[in-house]
Structure 1
Amino acid sequence: MKDSYIVRNRENQWKVRKKRFSIDVQEAKREIEVISKPIWQELLGLQQALEWPIEEVLAEFGGYRVPYNKSGCSIATGSNYLIRNYDYHPKTYDGRYMLYQPSDGGLATAAPSQRITGRMDGINEAGLAMGYNFMNRKRPGAGFICCMIGRFILETCASVKEAIQLLKHIPHRHSFSYVVYDRTGETAIIEASPRDVVVRTSIRCTNHFEEQKSENRHHLIDSERRLAVLKENQQQEMIVDEAYKLFNHSDQGIFSDLYESWAGTIHTSVYFPTALQAWFTLGPNQPPTVIDFKSWLQGTSLGIKRIEGEINTKVPFLHMDYPADWFNGEKRT
């Protein structure tokens, strides 16, 4: 990581962004270790390798008390699958898909990373799939951000019930919906804000709360439009191929090209809890890359070195372009 574009771009990004949070090192350590001591050790490893102060490591990778900008995202579940579009800004995208089997505690996972240590969606060896949708960042609390919470879910929870228990007991920085689906077929949408956690049942979710309505943003037109598209298409059960076309094809009303507005679709992912398999696609209108997580857990190499795709934007990507910062102008290299 030390000389990567990710680190270099992040350092530049902070030069023009004001940190709207503070971090107490001992408090962050205590809160993280309650859930996962190995993740705290990972942060110490990043500190050693990058030769940064621990405060800087926690601000960038700790996932505790850090800000979050607006974004989109759509999620649906069907018969033995969870599908989601990850809609956000290219300048924040790690470009790393992680297959991780910890040797010091925790469940093995297959998931794209966010802020290196976090996970934005994924599946674990117990067959629990997860994705999250942004709701609001008003009135933030002292707590964890979405991508670290995503990792906590995947590495420490084997079922929807355990994920609900976790999210009810940890502090939340911002308001997000966490959609979880396990191999028994149980699904739940967990509306989590700094003030409350409410669980509901549905097979679709976009970017507004149904229960905690007071936590929603004022402008919900696009979120409600995408939810209506999902509802219309889910009147009868969609097989996974139909769901994939709905989410990944650019003419179906779910895929977004609003990259400069923090709401462009970067990837489409599908998780199969029973088969322990994942599909992953960068950009629209193409077949998915199949990731056989079950075979990997059994020791078989995936035979995949990188996943490629084409995204129609001039906005630089954090992991492959320099500079990809918040200074004026969009320069590609």
Structure 2
Amino acid sequence: MKQFFSDVIQFRGTHYDFGYFQGELLKDSPILPNREKQWGPKKDRHFIIDSEKYKELITKIVPGILEEINGLADALQMNIDDAFRLFGGYYLEFVRSGCSIFTDPNFMVRNYDSHPRGYEGRYMLYQPTDQGFSVIGPSMQITGRIDGMNEKGLVMGYNFTHSKKSGDGFLCNMIGRLILETCKDVDEAISLLKEIPHRHSFSYVLLDPSGESYVVEASPRHVAARKSNVCTNHFHLLDEENRYRQEETRQREKTIQTKQMHATNPYQAFKVMNDPANDVFSKKYDASAGTIHTSVYFPKELKAWFVIGPDRKPVIFDFSKWLYGQNINVKRIKGELNYPDPFVNME
């Protein structure tokens, strides 16, 4: 087992200042150099086709994110088109992933399954002073969010279905950020998912303080919503969008449904996902389907749990207290994975 960590990053202020703050941190971080090395000769494919179109789209939904990218570009002394390519969350190549989600009326527990080599190791708490809702959750592509919860208690996580037949649209991580910054409840999130363009096919799992949980199946061609409390890596409504082989994802779905029936509290539900003995936590890291983190969100209490690696006790965040000015004392979330290569935030 090798040690890994996520940095806990907290900020209150405008989006531009948040971007500049992150840019200053990235100057001293190995994230961008490591990512460029990983992309290698493929990096020329990581581009935005039309910068003006991107600016028009993002300005309609969350203009603050455009300001955040401007702040990043200024701090890093970077051409704005390069900043869009790196941080825009639009029309970039995506590495496939796994992921499993279970919801209860009072919480969501989620395993994020992917390749450790691309994981940023940044757990973010951001309270905007210009526009948008405050959000807690891990980042992807700096500006995007892998999962998270906002100040209204809306919780979001997403699961990969496939990247074939891709379209011109936002990536999952930026869609997650758009949902959390702009939507106060599940209904608003479903409406947004039906309005915006999608690059790939993903399920977006939503929960709010009402206790209602929805899975929104979204592809570049169709978006459909259903009530459900379990989600893995296949669609139920948009069957024509599924991958050819679905045995593993359907079996994992059944395992979660069966084992969560015996969980009588949030910690037991967390253990179903985080303890490898329950056959949900995955060690398939080389296949981009190993479990990197397990997160739990409580929309009514505005609390969050987070761990890196298997069979660990969660770090507990009181987001409600943070929203009223009480900073988090935790600087890093540490864990262990059975994988030799580091996250991109590690030397």
Indicate the TM-score class for this superposition, using the shorter chain for normalisation.
over 0.9
Q: 1:219-258: CA deviations, max 9, x gaps?
A: 2222112101012124466421211110011111110111
Distance 1:242 1:33 in 2: 42
Higher relative contact order (Cα pairs below 8 Å, separated by 6+ residues) = 2
Distance 1:193 1:73 in 2: 17
Distance 2:273 2:142 in 1: 26
* Structure 2 letter corresponding to 1:10: R
> Contact 2:156–2:176 (CA<8 Å) still a contact in 1?
yes
Aligned pairs for 1:32-111 (under 5 A) are: 32-111=58-137
Residue 32 of structure 2 aligns with which residue?
7
Distance 1:301 1:317 in 2: 26
Residue 327 of structure 1 aligns with which residue?
none
Residue 145 of structure 2 aligns with which residue?
119
How far the C-alpha of 1:21 sits from its partner, in A, is 5.8
Count, aligned residues? 321
Distance 1:146 1:55 in 2: 20
Is the aligned partner of 1:305 residue 2:316? no
* Structure 2 letter corresponding to 1:185: G
How far the C-alpha of 1:64 sits from its partner, in A, is 0.9
How far the C-alpha of 1:2 sits from its partner, in A, is 2.3
Residue 22 of structure 2 aligns with which residue?
none
State TM-score, norm by structure 1: 0.94
Counterpart of 1:122 in 2: which secondary structure? Answer: strand
* Structure 2 letter corresponding to 1:127: G
Distance 1:303 1:4 in 2: 21
The structure with the largest helix share of the pair is 2
* Structure 1 letter corresponding to 2:37: N
Q: 1:180-200: CA deviations, max 9, x gaps?
A: 000011111000000010001
State TM-score, norm by structure 2: 0.90
How far the C-alpha of 1:20 sits from its partner, in A, is 6.6
Measured at CA, do residues 60 and 20 of structure 1 come closer, stay the same or move farther in structure 2, by a change above 3 Å? Answer: closer
Measured at CA, do residues 134 and 238 of structure 1 come closer, stay the same or move farther in structure 2, by a change above 3 Å? Answer: farther
Residue 191 of structure 1 aligns with which residue?
217
* Structure 1 letter corresponding to 2:283: D
Distance 2:176 2:323 in 1: 20
> Contact 1:260–1:315 (CA<8 Å) still a contact in 2?
no
* Structure 2 letter corresponding to 1:147: N
Most deviating of 10-19 and 190-199: 10-19
Is the aligned partner of 1:224 residue 2:220? no
* Structure 1 letter corresponding to 2:289: A
> Contact 2:263–2:269 (CA<8 Å) still a contact in 1?
no
How far the C-alpha of 1:302 sits from its partner, in A, is 2.0
Residue 330 of structure 1 aligns with which residue?
none
The runs of 5 or more residues in structure 2 that have no matched partner are 1-25
> What's the Cα RMSD here?
1.3
Is the aligned partner of 1:261 residue 2:287? yes
Counterpart of 1:59 in 2: which secondary structure? Answer: helix
Residue 145 of structure 1 aligns with which residue?
171
How far the C-alpha of 1:119 sits from its partner, in A, is 0.4
Distance 2:261 2:326 in 1: 39
> Contact 2:116–2:285 (CA<8 Å) still a contact in 1?
yes
